[in-house]
């Protein structure tokens, strides 16, 4: 295994996850605000689930998205 290749690949994957997740969350929050489902001061519980096939790895990251 080449540690540098693994590290670069992981960073690329996590960057893609981060960019995609941010866009989708922002879109959903804007829609929630537009429809009145959200008021704008909420803290929304959030969870990301990662699964890596081939090594039987699944883990969750819990957090929150604050709107104000």
- pTM of structure: 0.88
**φ, ψ (nearest 5 deg) of residue 66:** -95, 135
Q: What is the pLDDT of residue 28?
A: 98
Is the alpha carbon torsion for 13, 19, 22, 25 positive or negative? Answer: negative
- pLDDT confidence of residue 25: 98
Give me the pLDDT at residue 31, please: 98
* Average pLDDT by stretches of 10, the chain with 68 residues: 97 98 98 98 98 97 98
Please report the pLDDT score of residue 32 as a whole number.
98
């Amino acid at each position: 295994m080449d540690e540098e290749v693994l590290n670069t690949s992981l960073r690329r994957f996590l960057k893609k996850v981060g960019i995609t997740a941010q866009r989708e969350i922002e879109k959903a929050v804007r829609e929630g605000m537009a429809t009145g489902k959200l008021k704008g001061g909420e803290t929304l519980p959030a969870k990301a689930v990662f699964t890596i096939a081939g090594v039987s790895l699944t883990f969750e990251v819990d957090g929150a998205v604050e709107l104000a």
